[in-house]
Structure 1
């Protein structure tokens, strides 16, 4: 029992000398049962030093991007700006993405189920695959490279995506016209 009260004894002596007995018991209970994180969360930011906060982190603090400018545009009572509507964005864009993704399923199965290796079916499949890939990589660029913070990097990645999409489209066109085609290649690999 004595070892249980030992951690609270210095706290009682230093911080609770002027308190009455019930208040001293309450202060001792709260100081021993609270974690250092809970105690640090009650302090004001000016009271917390870097050495105290560093004890809670396992790795060093490294900034990946420079912090954004600390400015507020307008007042807090201004409504959020509504972007202008555009047919290729918003719900139309989302619907187009879902239609492209869903159409890949029958386009992948149809040549093998029907037994027909039609070059038109291959061309439609390749075009849909190119659009699906472009939309997916474009969504990654939009999500992970913010235009407000990195406008030049975003523009560079957008042009890189366009170039890679064009290169993939030219490669698939060459494979379709000068070689056996995607469906026949998959069929040969499957039976090999």
Structure 2
């Protein structure tokens, strides 16, 4: 990782060679703090060196928008899920089932989108693969949401399905004996 950081920032570090060398005299008995305090020409050089290193080390991120609002919406959906999940299983109906489907799919989509953006970076895999991965994620999320809403509208719904799973117990022979 350190090697990749050095190779990536090599052109930025080459700019340090443009700094003038030996701009102030140094005696054997002076330390750097004395140089900065006594010799005023050393201060701009120290600031220039510091600025060069800070610019070379700290990565600048180019963001397209302010993501603080999206972060707040994600946290709001997480809070909504805390109420919707139990409500969907306690009293299943189409409204709660659809609300559950939308909230869960959006929650998973945002989590997986963060993984894709963090781990499928253009600097590592090239410019095409991140776009394909993000596009595939949108297709999978849209298909999942459409399938869940279809299931809620044309079948028994998510809440009722989980209630039926909850009632399953014993072996198939035990269940047949109960039904007879």
Scaled by the length of structure 1, the TM-score of the pair is 0.55
Q: 1:162 aligns with which of 128, 138, 148?
A: 138
For residue 111 of structure 1, what is the aligned residue in structure 2?
A: 88
Find out whether 1:179 has 2:155 as its counterpart: yes
How many residues matched? 123
Find out whether 1:128 has 2:103 as its counterpart: yes
| 1:53-110 Cα distance to aligned partner (Å, 9 max, x none) | xxxxxxxxxxxx9x965643595267564645624x1x22222222212221210111
Q: From the superposition, tell whether residues 188 and 68 of structure 1 become closer, same or farther in structure 2 (CA, over 3 Å).
A: farther
For residue 86 of structure 1, what is the aligned residue in structure 2?
A: 65
For residue 11 of structure 2, what is the aligned residue in structure 1?
A: 72
For residue 140 of structure 1, what is the aligned residue in structure 2?
A: 115
Return 5+ residue gaps in structure 1 as ranges: 1-64
The worse-fitting range, judged by mean Cα deviation, of 177-186 and 67-76 is 67-76
Aligned residues: CA RMSD: 2.7
> 2 CA distance for matches of 1:78 and 1:127?
44
Return 5+ residue gaps in structure 2 as ranges: 16-51, 169-180
The structure whose residues are more often helix, as a share, is 2
User: Which structure is larger by alpha-carbon Rg, 1 or 2?
Assistant: 1
Compare relative contact order (CA 8 Å, sep 6+) and give the higher one, 1 or 2.
2
Q: From the superposition, tell whether residues 112 and 159 of structure 1 become closer, same or farther in structure 2 (CA, over 3 Å).
A: closer
Q: Is the 8 Å Cα contact of residues 93 and 157 (structure 2) preserved in structure 1?
A: no
Q: 1:190 aligns with which of 144, 152, 166?
A: 166
Q: From the superposition, tell whether residues 120 and 98 of structure 1 become closer, same or farther in structure 2 (CA, over 3 Å).
A: same
